[in-house]
Structure 1
Amino acid sequence: MELSKLCMTLLSLQAFFFFFLEAAPSNSNLFREYIGAEFNNVKFQDVPVNPNVEFHFILSFAIDYDTSSSPSPTNGKFNIFWDSDNLGPSQVSSIKNGNSNVKVALSLGGDSVTGGFVYFNPSSIDSWVSNAVSSLTKIIKQYNLDGIDIDYEHFKSDPQTFAQCIGRLIQTLKKNGVIKFASIAPFDDDEVQSHYLALWKSHGNLIDYVNFQFYAYDKGTSVSQFINDFNTQSSKYNGGKVLVSFISDGSGGLSPKNGFFTACNRLRSQQKLHGIFVWSADDSMGNGFRFEKQSQALLANSN
């Protein structure tokens, strides 16, 4: 009887060990880039795409606001606020047809619209979710998109309302087969983190990537501080694939010129480099996408 119990215990430990190995995040060749928010005529084909990475373009932004008079929230009825003249449905089809490793997503919210903040401001959970599912399904199907990203940065709702609205939105879009993946884009601010961590706690199993805005930290961030920040946020979004990031104009965080790739290599040696994302292609045009090329070359050799 005691031997039988010992065998069962060993089998349980073995099963847990293999589950942990499968579930633990590891290095990835995922590269993501936001595009279209600044209306400077950047096109998909302007951005270099390494065939040996998984590449996600993220259209920025779809916003549940109406600007026909003064900017005002529309309770989940999303409209297109990216440069759709240069980044329209035919351009999406073209970049995906020409690159089998490319997927295209859209990001919700963003920081501002026509000079004012974009607020998450639902009238009710049920009505917001219903409107959001309907309006986003239409846009996603029209553009043949693959996923969504959540980038609300200002709130007029409590964290639990945000968690339920966004969680149910992602759940419904995935259940309906409208999207294949979803990500969130928090940064280190108490109000922002309270909302996204509530969402993570209730619906983290539905969120595929955490596009953490490490460039929102101070411009003078060192490599060691960047690693510390990464580990801190990874513990908060426990079990999530937290991506590292930089901003093209070098205005914040750890820049590619000052050690970003050193930090990436350190994380890669620890099996923690789950991907890189960039804000944004619009700004990177000015340097010929130099750091996009370098990022993808590093990721192509990550495993």
Structure 2
Amino acid sequence: MASRNLFIALFILQSFLFLSQFPALRAAPSSNLFREYIGAEFKNVRFSDVPIHSGVDFHFLLSFAIDYDTSGTSPTDGKFNVFWDTDNLSPDQVSSIKGQNSNVKVGLSLGGDSVQSGNAYFNPSSVSAWVSNAVASLTSIIQKYNLDGIDIDYEHFKADPDTFANCIGQLISTLKKNGVIQFASIAPFADDDVQSHYLALWRKYGHIIDYVNFQFYAYDQGTTVSQFLDYFNKQTSNYDGGKVLASFISDGSGGLTPENGFFKACSRLKSQGKLNGIFIWSADDSKANGFRYEKQSQALLASAH
């Protein structure tokens, strides 16, 4: 009996050591995740306008919460305010869409490209002050709106990469530890300054970041299928171990568009076991085409699962 117990213990230990070398085997990526940004452009889009396939995990990402004053002119050192279309995307409407669809979660995205007519800068006075303010203000917003997670989409910086990494990493850690959020994602794109900040964050805190909403639509308009796949593999390598999602912009202004082969590229990734999910910027623009690509994206993901 003793030798049998020893054998079992050794087997369990060897299995643990094997799996620890291959993080992807410990947590296989969800291949039916669909995410969509909503509310930044004030085009009167409601959650209920967007088609929701029952066979996907669906995340709406409210855009944006920004640590600027309500006039959008001065940074507030981590004290966040809501800058999305609250008339159409209210706390009651969050509760309603989640109540009607058990597969829907709603998060909020931080930062974004601009506020009012200027850039939205990440501009902390110190790590401790920014984190303290951010935890308090975001906890209040998240609880008011009954939200499930956060997305980090800062694109302009008045702080070095290490400060950004510590601020955002400590924010995510604290919100998760406090049970305020279930998931966190980041939304980098291929720009040297942007990548230097997000890769610093990834190196130090990648283990607590659930998804990488890489903005593949920030690449040149006219991107081909083969170029897209090269970009995807490069960013999967950069964010090693992360769930990098495929993406497009619904106004067709950049990257690989559905018309030029986005779904062909996704089908190829799916066949290779690399399609961790799809996200779209944004529901506001998709309203004009009747959300046709939301339907196509979700059908592809549902068939992959």
Query: TM-score range with shorter-chain normalisation?
Result: over 0.9
Q: Distance in 2 between matches of 1:192 and 1:128?
A: 20
Q: Does 1:260 pair with 2:262?
A: yes
What fraction of aligned residue pairs are identical, expressed as a percent? 72
- Deviation per residue, 1:21-54 (Å, 9 max, x gap): 6236445100000000000100000000000100
Q: Distance in 2 between matches of 1:282 and 1:248?
A: 9
Q: Distance in 2 between matches of 1:222 and 1:114?
A: 34
Question: Does structure 2 conserve the Cα–Cα contact (< 8 Å) formed by 1:25 and 1:239?
Answer: no
Alpha-carbon distance, 1:151 to partner: 0.1
Q: Distance in 2 between matches of 1:207 and 1:74?
A: 25
Question: Does structure 2 conserve the Cα–Cα contact (< 8 Å) formed by 1:25 and 1:240?
Answer: no
Number of aligned positions between the proteins: 296
Q: Which residue of 1 aligns with 2:5?
A: none
Q: Which residue of 2 aligns with 1:125?
A: 127
Question: Does structure 2 conserve the Cα–Cα contact (< 8 Å) formed by 1:33 and 1:279?
Answer: yes
> What amino acid maps onto 1:254 in structure 2?
L
Question: Does structure 2 conserve the Cα–Cα contact (< 8 Å) formed by 1:27 and 1:302?
Answer: no
* Residues 261/149 of structure 1: CA separation in 2 closer, same or farther (3 Å cut): same
Q: Does 1:78 pair with 2:80?
A: yes
Q: Does 1:298 pair with 2:269?
A: no
Q: Which residue of 1 aligns with 2:252?
A: 250
- Deviation per residue, 1:126-179 (Å, 9 max, x gap): 000000000000000000000000000000000000000000000000000000
Alpha-carbon distance, 1:11 to partner: 7.9
Q: Which runs of 4+ in 1 moved over 2 A?
A: 8-27
* TM-score normalised over the length of structure 2: 0.94
* Residues 41/134 of structure 1: CA separation in 2 closer, same or farther (3 Å cut): same
Alpha-carbon distance, 1:301 to partner: 1.1
Q: Distance in 1 between matches of 2:120 and 2:112?
A: 7
> What amino acid maps onto 2:247 in structure 1?
S
Q: Which residue of 2 aligns with 1:60?
A: 63
Q: Distance in 1 between matches of 2:271 and 2:167?
A: 38
Query: What secondary structure, in the 3-state scheme, does the structure 1 residue paired with 2:304 have?
Result: coil
> What amino acid maps onto 2:286 in structure 1?
S
Q: Distance in 2 between matches of 1:25 and 1:226?
A: 23
Aligned partner (choices 18, 31, 36) of residue 33 of structure 1: 36
Aligned partner (choices 129, 139, 146) of residue 141 of structure 2: 139
* Residues 102/11 of structure 1: CA separation in 2 closer, same or farther (3 Å cut): closer
Q: Which residue of 2 aligns with 1:45?
A: 48
Q: Distance in 2 between matches of 1:12 and 1:131?
A: 43
Q: Distance in 1 between matches of 2:96 and 2:215?
A: 29
> What amino acid maps onto 1:60 in structure 2?
S
* TM-score normalised over the length of structure 1: 0.94
> What amino acid maps onto 2:86 in structure 1?
S
Q: Distance in 1 between matches of 2:112 and 2:38?
A: 12
> What amino acid maps onto 2:45 in structure 1?
V
Question: Does structure 2 conserve the Cα–Cα contact (< 8 Å) formed by 1:275 and 1:299?
Answer: yes
Q: Which residue of 1 aligns with 2:6?
A: none
Q: Which residue of 2 aligns with 1:108?
A: 110
Q: Does 1:22 pair with 2:25?
A: yes
Query: What secondary structure, in the 3-state scheme, does the structure 2 residue paired with 1:48 have?
Result: coil
Aligned partner (choices 260, 266, 277) of residue 275 of structure 1: 277
Alpha-carbon distance, 1:220 to partner: 1.1
* Residues 103/129 of structure 1: CA separation in 2 closer, same or farther (3 Å cut): same
Question: Does structure 1 conserve the Cα–Cα contact (< 8 Å) formed by 2:65 and 2:80?
Answer: yes
Question: Does structure 1 conserve the Cα–Cα contact (< 8 Å) formed by 2:70 and 2:81?
Answer: no
- Deviation per residue, 1:46-95 (Å, 9 max, x gap): 00000010000000000000143x60100000000000010000000000
Query: What secondary structure, in the 3-state scheme, does the structure 2 residue paired with 1:242 have?
Result: coil
- Deviation per residue, 1:240-277 (Å, 9 max, x gap): 00000000000000001110000001100110000000
Q: Distance in 1 between matches of 2:257 and 2:116?
A: 28
Query: What secondary structure, in the 3-state scheme, does the structure 1 residue paired with 2:35 have?
Result: strand
Q: Distance in 2 between matches of 1:171 and 1:292?
A: 32
Q: Which residue of 2 aligns with 1:178?
A: 180
Query: What secondary structure, in the 3-state scheme, does the structure 1 residue paired with 2:85 have?
Result: coil
Tell me how large the CA RMSD over aligned residues is. 1.7
Question: Does structure 2 conserve the Cα–Cα contact (< 8 Å) formed by 1:186 and 1:212?
Answer: yes
Query: What secondary structure, in the 3-state scheme, does the structure 1 residue paired with 2:111 have?
Result: strand
* Residues 252/142 of structure 1: CA separation in 2 closer, same or farther (3 Å cut): same
Q: Which residue of 1 aligns with 2:98?
A: 96
